[in-house]
Amino acid sequence: MSFDVQFPGLGLEFTINRVALSIGGFNIYWYGVIIAAGMVLAMLFAFRNADDFGINSDRLIDVILVGAVMAIVCARIYYIVFAPFKYESIWQMIDIRQGGIAIYGAVIGAFVFGGLMAKIRRIPILPLFDLVGICFLIGQGVGRWGNFVNQEAFGSNTTLPWGMYSEGTCNYLSSVQETLAAQGVAVDPSLPVHPTFLYESIWCLLGFFLLWAYMKRRKFHGELILMYVMWYGAERFFVEGLRTDSLYVGPFRISQLVSVALCAVGVVMLRRILRRPAAGAAGEAQPGEAGCVPAPGQAAADMPASGDAGAACAEQATADVPALVEEQGDAPEHAPEEGQRP
């Protein structure tokens, strides 16, 4: 249950035990512990910053519970559907301690089912997705280290100084060498490989810090989630091209297809929104006005209190009355008599 992991170019070597602890003969793996740690850190960030997005923290709990569970379920289903082999039993299908979950499945599950729960709990969708996008970068950045412990999700051979080698990489490449050769990828199991999990971890954590720094300056609701899909999609497209365990549909790597689609949608939508005239010119309610979620950069506490909002509405209604009466010059000057239809 352990690997001797080497980084020959850096002169580093580690012995990694995949099992964190055993309880009554049941093993708890570091893979699951690390994934859980990433989820916990993401949730802490969400609760700490919910008010800045106009989201009620109590209602957010329901969304997180549903989104987190369905993210894991959908990530596993996604992997099973596209896995290049068949599982022998239901237990093998649900046992994720050996790995075998797909991040895009998790993203789809979290956004679809979390979004449905948000509708039920009356949480604003776009601000929620903005917050979730940042949280996903935390979870992904931390969770990728579970791949390191399992010695999976690595790439083809490399001569770069940070190339990685272990018994795990050697055994896996030996088992798929012919398959990779048929796909045009030549590998030598005895040589170091790209630690692609490390590339993705660094990219996601960098993206988190950038979006966190930009969070207060966002221009519209939905901007951060668009930045997330473009940021992650661009990285995943290139890193996926290095990996040796990609899921395929025909001759194409599924994750690359999804990444291209996400980047294209993100770019098109961002350009269209930024080119659109300001909504205020058409008299539409703007984020931060009474009855709306907080404007980007405006905390919920800074919004007008309900009493202030009602007073403002009443004042506006009173101001509109003279104009209305003036327009209706033909209106009767006296109230209708009893029994008379007005």
Structure tokens at 89: 């039993």
Contacts of residue 96, defined as CB under 8 A and 6 or more positions apart, other chains included, come to 32, 72, 76
Provide the whole-model pTM.
Answer: 0.78
Cβ pair 267, 214 in contact under 8 A? no
Q: How far apart are CA 222 and CA 130, in angstroms?
A: 6
pLDDT at residue 290, as a whole number: 38
Q: For residue 316, how far is the Cα from the chain centroid?
A: 41
pLDDT at residue 337, as a whole number: 47
pLDDT digits (tens, 9 = 90+) for 192-218: 999 999 999 999 999 999 999 999 999
In terms of phi and psi (left: phi > 0; alpha: psi -120 to 50; beta: otherwise), the region of 54 is left
Cβ pair 243, 259 in contact under 8 A? no
pLDDT at residue 46, as a whole number: 96
Residues with pLDDT less than 50, the chain: 279-291, 301, 304-342
DSSP 50: G
pLDDT at residue 251, as a whole number: 87
pLDDT at residue 295, as a whole number: 58
pLDDT at residue 313, as a whole number: 43
